[in-house]
Amino acid sequence: MAAAAAQDAHEQLLHLKLAFLAGEPPACVLALARKAGGGSVTPDVQNFLLESCIGNKADGRQNCTYATTILKKIIAEVELSSSVVIDGLYEEFVERMLSKAKDSLLNRADHIYKDISFLSSTHDNNSPRLLSVVARLSCSSNMLEGDTGCSLWPASLFLSEFILSYPKVFSKKCCFELGSGVGLVGVCLNYVGASKVILTDGDASTLTNMKANMELNNLCIEQEDSTILKESTNKVECKYLSWEEVSERDLWGYQLDIVLGADIIYDPVCVPHLVRVLSMLLRRDGKHGKTNAKTGDEFVTEAPVAYIATVVRNVDTFNCFAKAAADAKLSIVNVTSSAAPSNFLPYMLSYDRSSVQLLKISLLS
């Protein structure tokens, strides 16, 4: 019993730290801090926050405004409950407020760094969950129009969990993602051993940020005539792709196995272009890999197949996509339930996986 309690306490503190590093909303971090303290933010939990989260500036990438907000909320929570606030929290808060006042540039930071840590459970009951893969990403600190491509969306998290849940589906496959955004899916594809990862986006600033994120995760960014690429096992290409302008010739040479996309069904104006691009990618000629699954398995594929994770925010837009896909002879199967991914992100309270649907799309023969 004592060992189980200790393990549970360790896991709760781990969730608290990972939520902070992932940039979870302050209310979510506060909820996890309460849970770790058995209902209140105890001095022990405060010390953990200070030493393992807020006070850890070793990598120099921590967002000052975010950390200061967390500090303010934690202190207010403890004071409201008439409990003791440790001196270190007050001192850290004052230091950060003074630093912010001296450096006005901190107020204009439009991007923050997030560490998205996927946890995998072990078979050893005496061991806590272990980190499976960590993606370090530069993301937008706001949701203003024009910067949405640099934000982290639920469908991207869901698609990443799907990839990590079924690694054999993607291992040794050539994978092509539409609307890659910050590049989280690309990191996961590389982790499970995809033979080739092509990440695309039609926004120049998003593409620049995506490339920086791949480098941040020590992935080789493909360049023409690169000898480094030929010697590297991390083969990732970041490519500009405009759905409106891309031609069949532009896609020649890619021997694709799997096409992916997260939250790309959002604008009825873009739907015809998206369906056209999917049709071109799914009828690629060339050599296509197969999974090692048995005959009859849902994931066996001889021709290219697409997996699209989406949140249906507007039913009319989704219906528009479904009709355009049917007209283009594309088969759409909702596999959300039959291929439900494992929960690798238990600490992300803001992530509502129930809102995401997973679609398997293929070309009708």
Among 48, 83, 108, the domain boundary falls at: 108
Sign of CA dihedral 27, 33, 37, 42: negative
Would you give per-residue pLDDT tens digits along the chain (365 residues)? Answer: 777 777 888 999 999 999 999 999 999 999 999 999 999 999 999 999 999 988 765 444 556 788 889 999 999 999 998 889 999 999 998 888 876 655 544 444 567 899 999 998 654 444 455 668 999 999 987 654 456 678 899 999 999 999 999 999 999 999 999 999 999 999 999 999 999 999 999 999 999 999 999 999 999 665 544 554 445 555 789 999 999 999 988 888 778 999 999 999 989 999 999 999 999 999 865 444 344 444 445 555 578 999 999 999 999 999 999 999 999 999 999 999 999 999 999 999 999 999 999 999 999 97
Among 108, 135, 166, the domain boundary falls at: 108
The DSSP annotation for 257-322 comes to SEEEEES----TTTHHHHHHHHHHHHT--S-----SPPTT-TT--SS-EEEEEEE-S-HHHHHHHH
My answer on whether 199 and 251 are in the same domain is yes
My answer on whether 93 and 156 are in the same domain is no
My answer on whether 340 and 191 are in the same domain is yes
My answer on whether 98 and 191 are in the same domain is no
Q: How many structural domains are present in the chain?
A: 2
My answer on whether 164 and 65 are in the same domain is no
Which strands form 174-178's sheet, in the order they lie side by side? Answer: 236-240, 196-201, 174-178, 258-262, 305-311, 356-363, 330-334
List Cα–Cα distances, 36 to 9, 11, 29, 128, 153, in angstroms: 7, 9, 11, 15, 27
Residue 217 domain-assigned (yes or no): yes
What pairing do the DSSP bridges indicate for beta strands 236-240 and 196-201? Answer: parallel
Domain that holds residue 334: 145-363
Amino acid occupying residue 308: I
Three state DSSP letters for 108-158: HCCEEEEEEEEEECCCCCCCCCEEEEEEEEEEECCCCCCCHHHCCCHHHHH
My answer on whether 68 and 199 are in the same domain is no
Put simply, whether the predicted model's pTM sits higher than 0.85 gets the answer: yes
My answer on whether 91 and 178 are in the same domain is no
